[in-house]
A and B are shown apart, each in its own frame.
Chain A
Amino acid sequence: MKKMINNIFLSEPAFKPAAEKLLIKNGTVIDTSAEKQYKADIFIVNGRIEKISENIKAEKGCEIIDAKGLYITSGFFDMHVHLREPGYEQAENLVTGTNAAMTGGITSLAAMANTTPCVDNKFILKDIQSRSKELLVNVHQIPAVTLKREGKVLVEMTELFENGALAFSDDGNGIESSETMTGALTYAKMFGTPILVHPEDHSFSEWVMNESFTSTELGMSYLPNIAESINVTRDIEIARYVDGKVHFQHVSAKESVELIRKAKKEKLKVTCEVTPHHFSLTDEKVRTFSTDYKMNPPLRTQEDLDAIHKGLKDGTIDVIATDHAPHPSEKKNVEFDFAPFGVLGLETMFSAGITYLVRSEKLSLMEFLKKITANPRRILNLDADLLKKGKIAELTIFDIDQKWKVDRRKLKSLSINTCFHGETHYGKVRFTINNGKIFRA
């Protein structure tokens, strides 16, 4: 399965070069930036959009994709991914991770810095950038906030920003010191980049699941909601004090949603994301003792799920991001207490959204798509208005009615730790296009 290609890639990419001239016909375009939906064809030349309009005639030598019954949007953006390279390549690498991404319709992603070594300096950042250059998926490597993610000394943010850092994150660790957090938010203001915060107060004792009636019956060690919301409260106050930009990662507790809603009403520069598993599943799943339900933050209760649905609907929650966290099966196939935290997400982000949000009418298709296209790009100060002549064709083409069964053995990821194994999902990505390359499902 692992193959050396150009001595760079550990595995074989799943994409092909796109035809020089590519015409997408008969589809429905959903422009999440302008919030418009219309019927149109899209003509792509040399990887860039040449024209979007009705009934474009095919030129000679032009390849045609028939998108009848399908939707076309700007490519999906997952702003929370662990690609595991460098240092943990038995779980995932840049190629398998981005193969999984394009299978899920994701054309751009933000990779977290908890690699070995940690991405806390320009050299590692540039190394990952150069190694992901030739891929279909844009890999935006996010550097750490502090050296080794230890929460003490700030990384060289200015230099990292000049080398392409869109944001900073110590993801995996909550930043314990309020002073360090104040410093980071103040310093990052100079470039307008957000600090992506993993909100967790680590002073609570070791835990494996959410604190609830379920943890009581199962006798498992637990983490209360407030371990998250305490840090959310603090960082909202710091953001208010320094007028900084803070983005809360993988919000899971109903208290956090309420705090962020209030902060937004007060016009603070606060945004947040939720993962598909936190809008789909509750901690009742842990009763199976399957380590596919062990993640950080943990699955919460139905009340939290309801609060998340409400927060998604009213715009409190800006973004859906996966926290894709691969682990090899030998690490996960152990007792619950000993297994590492984390589940896969890239290949099921879209289908989980269609299945659990759109089809159950928690969100409209437009509302859902905005959270995986335009919103994350805006938070990271990227161009979100991609469906225009002259722009690089970064597109996802999908069917929202197609049913499929999630099967861990059929995933493109190098790991198999999905929490949706065996479920029937709706919504399938058919084509993923970016950087002059194309992936066909």
Chain B
Amino acid sequence: MDRLEDKKLLKIKHLLGIKGMCREDLELILKTSESFKQILDTPNKKVAALKGITVVNMFFENSTRTKISFEMAEKRLSADVVNFAASSSSLKKGETLIDTAKNIEAMKIDMVVMRHSTPGAHKMLMENLDSVIINAGDGAHEHPTQAILDLMTIVEHIPNLKGKRVTMVGDIVHSRVAMSNIHALKLYGAKVQVCGPSTLIPKDIEKMGVDVTYDLNEAIQNSDAMNILRIQLERHVGSSFPSLREYHNYWGITNEKLARAKNDILILHPGPMNRGVEIDDDVADGDHQVILDQVLNGVASRMAVLYLLSANIGGEK
């Protein structure tokens, strides 16, 4: 990959969320992602684009796949990678986030990728550090790189999203994936719908310009793509819904329900999947799913984000 100087640059300086981004930025990231995806197909799989750049992955919440995906992307770009993991609860008791981050920055780093349980934690980081900040998920607020890889995957199959209907299914209220996806899909002109039990649909979400339905069968019939969100097993059984059995019966994606769908419907899942709860085996391994494409696109698009944002290293905030 060429040096960045003669390339188009992003308008954003950090990636904190999709909200507020412009379509041109997303298009540039997707275009760059496709180039990186081709490189991932070559035997070498690696470029020198971030040689000499140090990236720190700070994960204050458990995450296996997002962390591996970022780490892979960083290494494919030849960056120096440092991993830092701690629980959010340690922040409540011990050293503060700002102190922790400033200490790490003092060791001369360039970019920070952070996962944190609190919405807006990245803004604090941005205000206190000089590094480029990338949000790898902040509470139920945003998970921008997930939305970018989802968008990339959908656009590979549906190049013109204008007027196409994409449905987010499941736990919308606790989902950063849903929020970021809604913002990204709207920028691409898609009709966005959310579907799930009424207790998992957040207040006034229609004001984001999305349709709401509680009826999965209806959603399956009118959708061109569906993004199936993970049900957090430990979190909800109780006042949000009666049982996983009932959830699976009414909102789980099965081949039987998919029989009414459009022939070329796409099924996405950000993972990790609860097979037998929100998605059945035969769908997770079936013809409509693009779940492993998402995983590969995750690495390619994170490479693109890191590469494009590296132009701001040492720049003003």
Q: Which residues of A contact B (CB under 8 A)?
A: 211-213, 215-220, 222, 289, 330, 333-338
Contact = CB atoms under 8 A, between A and B. Distances in A.
A330 B95 CA distance: 11
B8 interface: no
B119 A334 contact: no
Interface in B189-232: 202-205, 207-208
B203 A212 contact: yes
Q: Please provide the 3 A-B residue pairs with the shortest distance between their CB atoms, ordered closest to farther.
A: A289-B120, A219-B140, A219-B141
15 contacts: A211-B203, A212-B203, A213-B204, A213-B207, A216-B173, A216-B202, A217-B19, A218-B120, A220-B119, A330-B96, A334-B91, A335-B91, A335-B97, A335-B121, A338-B92
B204 A336 contact: no
Contacts of A222: 203
Contact of A219 (B92, B142, B203, B204): B142
Contacts of B202: 215-216
B76 interface: no
A113 B117 CA distance: 33
A218 B141 contact: yes
A289 B128 CA distance: 14
Contacts of A219: 119, 138-142, 174-176, 179
Nearest to A289: B120
Contacts of A330: 96
Nearest to B176: A219
Contact of A335 (B120, B140, B179): B120
Contacts of B140: 219-220
A112 B121 CA distance: 32
A289 B179 contact: no
A212 B121 contact: no
A220 B176 CA distance: 10
Contacts of B124: 289, 335
Nearest to B204: A213
Contacts, number: 66
Contacts of A212: 203-204
Given A212-B203, A216-B202, A218-B119, A334 B139 contact: no
Contacts of B203: 211-213, 215-216, 222
Interface residues of B, number: 30
B183 to A, nearest CB: 9
A216 B204 contact: yes
Contacts of B175: 219
Nearest to A210: B203
Given A212-B203, A213-B207, A215-B202, A337 B139 contact: yes
Given A217-B208, A219-B175, A289-B119, 14 more contacts: A213-B203, A215-B203, A216-B203, A217-B19, A217-B179, A218-B120, A219-B119, A219-B142, A330-B96, A335-B97, A335-B118, A336-B118, A337-B118, A338-B92
Nearest to A287: B120
B61 to A, nearest CB: 12
Contacts of B51: none
B157 interface: no
Contacts of B173: 216
A368 B138 CA distance: 42
Contact of B119 (A211, A213, A333, A336): A336
B205 A216 contact: yes
Nearest to A216: B202
A305 B97 CA distance: 34
Contacts of B123: 289
B209 to A, nearest CB: 12
Nearest to A301: B204
B116 interface: yes
Contacts of B91: 334-335, 338
Interface string B121-156: 101100000000000001111100000000000000
Contacts of B179: 217, 219
B116 A335 contact: yes
A330 B121 CA distance: 16
B98 interface: yes
A217 B178 CA distance: 10
B231 to A, nearest CB: 17
Contacts of B174: 219
Nearest to B138: A219
B123 to A, nearest CB: 5
A244 B208 CA distance: 46
A330 B96 CA distance: 9
* Interface core residue of A212, A215, A330, A337 (most chain B CB under 10 Å): A337
Contacts of A338: 91-92, 118
Contacts of A333: 96, 98
Nearest to B60: A335
A334 B205 contact: no
Given A289-B119, A333-B98, A338-B91, A220 B204 contact: no
Query: Which of A212, A330, A333, A335 has the most CB atoms of chain B within a 10 A radius of its CB?
Result: A335
Contacts of A220: 119, 139-141
Among A212, A219, A289, residue most surrounded by chain B Cβ atoms (within 10 Å): A219
A224 to B, nearest CB: 8
B96 A334 contact: yes
A216 B141 CA distance: 8
A338 B141 CA distance: 16
Nearest to B239: A205
A336 to B, nearest CB: 5
A336 B120 contact: yes
Interface string B60-84: 0000000000000000000000000
A214 to B, nearest CB: 9
Nearest to B142: A219
A218 B141 CA distance: 5
Nearest to A286: B120
Interface in B85-111: 91-92, 96-98
A226 to B, nearest CB: 12
Contacts of B138: 219
A338 B90 CA distance: 11
Contacts of A336: 118-121
A420 to B, nearest CB: 20
A40 to B, nearest CB: 53
Contacts of A218: 119-120, 141
A333 B123 CA distance: 12
A327 B216 CA distance: 48
